[in-house]
Structures are given as C-alpha cells and as structure tokens.
Structure 1
Amino acid sequence: MTASVRQVQVAFDCASPERVARFWCEVLGYVAPPPPEGFASWDDFNQSLPPERRDAWFACSDPSGVGPRLYFQRVPEGKTVKNRLHLDVRVGTGLVGEERLAALEAECARLIPLGAVRVRLLPADEENESVLVMQDVEGNEFCLG
C-alpha cells in the first residue's frame, strides 16, 4: 500500500512569527486566517494566553488553496547558518535574458520596502536562467527566479 500526500505545510523557525508571516503574505499574496472563534483579533487571542505562549506561532495560506500553508513558529535560538531549505518565488517563469532580469528586478524593488534584502544575482549560465538571491525580514534566504 502506498501513502498519498494530501497537503504540505512549510514550517519556519523564527523570532517573530506574525511579522515573518505577514511579510510572506505580502510576497506571495497569501492571507492570514481569521482569529480563533470567540476573539475579535489575533491580539485579543494572544492576550488570553499565558505570557510564555503569546505570539508563539502564526500561519498563512494561499487563498486559492493551491499553494502550501506556511506555518511560523517562535524558537529561542537565532539564525546562525545558511538555510538548508528555501523558497523559490517564481516571478520570471518562461522569461529569458533581459526580460527575465527585468522581472526579477521589478519584484526585488517591490519586496525591499517590505523588509527584504537583496543578496546577490546569480547570472544565467549554460544550464540555468538568472536567479536573484534575497533574504526575508529575519534573514532567511529565498530566491526570485
């Protein structure tokens, strides 16, 4: 018998779950869920928790239901090394050369005011098209491709 994957959730360790989640909502067009039943806002929900559990997690999802849910969890340690896993935000699919570079640069310009940092451009070679390496608001690497 083979198992079938029904859904995938991508989990991020971070210091400020809601801040990082809201950044990715803007990047990907994702939405934050409504606060739990009985609470007017996420702030109200957080205030109902013991202090050590406040702001411990946040999630967001693709409103179309196609992309994976993103889950952000607070961890005590900070980021110290390069990510072993990263997201590729595909903004230049099907584009090549200068047209692709223009799409990557336009998306980079949109994301920098949100708190993203441009790291470096990996130019096209014989096998791969250009990719722009970025960091999110907590320094996690991602690529615009």
Structure 2
Amino acid sequence: MASPITILKNEEQLYKASNIQDAARFMANHLNISKLKLYDPIERGYVYNIPYYVEEDEYVFFAPEAVAAKRRVEMEERGHKNARRVWLIPANPNDYDLELAFQRYDTIDWRRSYNYENGDLLFIYVSGHIKQVRYKAEVVQGYIDLSDNTYK
C-alpha cells in the first residue's frame, strides 16, 4: 500500500511523494546525495516529527496520522533501529525542583547531555534523598536554541 509523504522545506511545501521510496528519490535528486542516506531521516521524520537539516534548511516530512501511527507501532514492537529510544537520566533535586516544574509547566526545557530526538522517552531518576525513578517524559523537540529557552 502506498503511503503518501509530504515534504516541506523551510515551512513551504516542496513535494508530495507517493511513498517513502519516491520521497527518498526526490530528496536524493534535490540534495545531490545517495537516496540510501535518506530513508532513515524520512522515516523518523514522518513517524516522530523529527526535522532533517541540511545547512540552514529544515526539511519536514508528513504522512497521514494513521500511517505514521501504524508504522510507529510496528517499529517499536520489532525493536527497529528507527524506533524511538528510551533513556534513563538523572536529576538532582538540589539543582532543580523538578516536581514543581512538572506541576507548573506543560513543557520543560531540559539541558541535554545526549542526542535526544522527538519521540524518545525519558525516565527521570531523581537522586539525593529520593533515589527513585519518578518521571516519564516524551521529547517533543530534540534541540532548543538557548535564546528560545523560556524558563532558565
């Protein structure tokens, strides 16, 4: 079954592909690179809303939500290399009041130590006197420019 994929470049529609092979072929011609290098970014792009950057240009890939949801389930059940990753990360309550932050805000900007990507799951281990995994969060934006950070 063909799964249409819309490609945006810097928020403008660039191409409407009939499937991932067509999207990879178009992008390979557009960027003058091997289409084999594009399957993973396209798949992670439409499944987890992860943009693909080439220099200053941002490429975004969309598929119908039902198609993306079905592929997400398939990848996660099979442990596919493009499935979202699961992280265990520490949080020191003496450095940051995570409990208060989760109570007050819908979204928290987190200093990244690793390459978290959209869709990745973070289990947050609270150290200090608590010593427990207390929170589960999903990455909704893998990289935030420091100037965009609202709460420091």
TM-score in terms of structure 1 length = 0.26
TM-score in terms of structure 2 length = 0.25
Larger relative contact order (Cα-Cα within 8 Å, sequence gap ≥ 6): 1
